[in-house]
Amino acid sequence: MTNAPLTTPTSPTLHHEDTGGDGRPVVLIHGWPLSGASWKDTIPALTDAGLRVITYDRRGFGHSAPAADGRYDYDALTADLAGLIEQLDLRDVSLVGFSMGGGEVARYVGTHGEERLHSIAFASAIPPWLLKSDDNPDGGLPRAEAEKMQAGLSADREGFLDEFTRNFFSAGGELKVTEAQRAEAVAIAAQADLDAAVTCIGSWLEDFTGDLAKVTVPTLVIHGDSDAIVPIQASGQRTHAQVAGSELVTIKDGPHGINASHAEAFNAALVRFLTA
């Protein structure tokens, strides 16, 4: 396995890990405010299925340096993903975006096309358009609430992350992972650059409707039915409706962090889709 910074035109210190091998490549794109380390429960299942797995830390998160240009919008974030794909010369690749990572998947298709792609997957992901507004009444997050989150994180990082991770892994008021797993997520989140973490909250509100309209490759949408962070009604179900021929897998009693809380069901659905 390689474990090193990757030089790309947009982000010269993008940390990535690559299991290597001759299997078809899969790029796993993490959620906020975590890093590629958050995929540890998924990677073994994919490698056991014969796939080559690549993870990376978004700019300003995990072991990747903050953005030199100060940008954390999705055009900039997706340019990093495109740079990784090109530097590693990945072809026939599947992209799996969790939560915020679903935005990079959608924008990659919208901006860079599908020439290098085999398939894509949206897991607890924010597309098609999370912003709740008069123009998008079915969205899940009003701008005022996003701004409140930014202020809360800026004022009390430790307290904010403690509450956020409880919601992240809870369904119906019940924590669906162990306290040790939650503490591990808090520790990963604490690695993020504060400015990157705060600014990215605003990026969640970008509109991916036009990007999804360009999707023609096989698409999986997997979402917990009790997601308190990105409600399935606002995101997963709408993405499924907008991407013709997509498959929707709903995880019963699943919180936002289904790749940890319901790892067996999540991995089984992902492996089946990626190896079909």
Contact 28, 53 (CB under 8 A): yes
pLDDT for the residue 13:
80
pLDDT for the residue 68:
86
- Token pair 């990963």 is at which residue? 188
For 47-67, give the secondary structure using H, E and C. HHCCCEEEEECCCCCCCCCCC
Please provide the size of the chain in residues.
276
Strand order from edge to edge, sheet including 52-56 = 2-6, 14-18, 52-56, 25-29, 93-98, 117-123, 219-224, 247-251
Q: Domain range for residue 107?
A: 2-274
Q: Which residues are catalytic?
A: 99, 227, 256
**pTM greater than 0.85:** yes
Contact 189, 99 (CB under 8 A): no
In this structure, what CATH number is given to the domain that contains residue 163? 3.40.50.1820
Q: What is the mean pLDDT of each run of 10 residues along the chain (276 residues)?
A: 63 86 97 98 98 97 93 96 94 98 98 98 98 98 98 98 98 97 98 98 98 98 98 98 98 98 98 97
pLDDT for the residue 7:
62
Q: What share of the chain is helix, strand, coil (3-state, %, to 5)?
A: 40, 20, 40
Residues 150, 31, 238, 260, Cα dihedral to 10°: -120
The number of domains in the chain is 1
pLDDT for the residue 4:
59
> For residues 52 and 25, what is the distance between their CA atoms, to the nearest angstrom?
5
Contact 110, 208 (CB under 8 A): yes
pLDDT for the residue 18:
96
pLDDT for the residue 178:
98
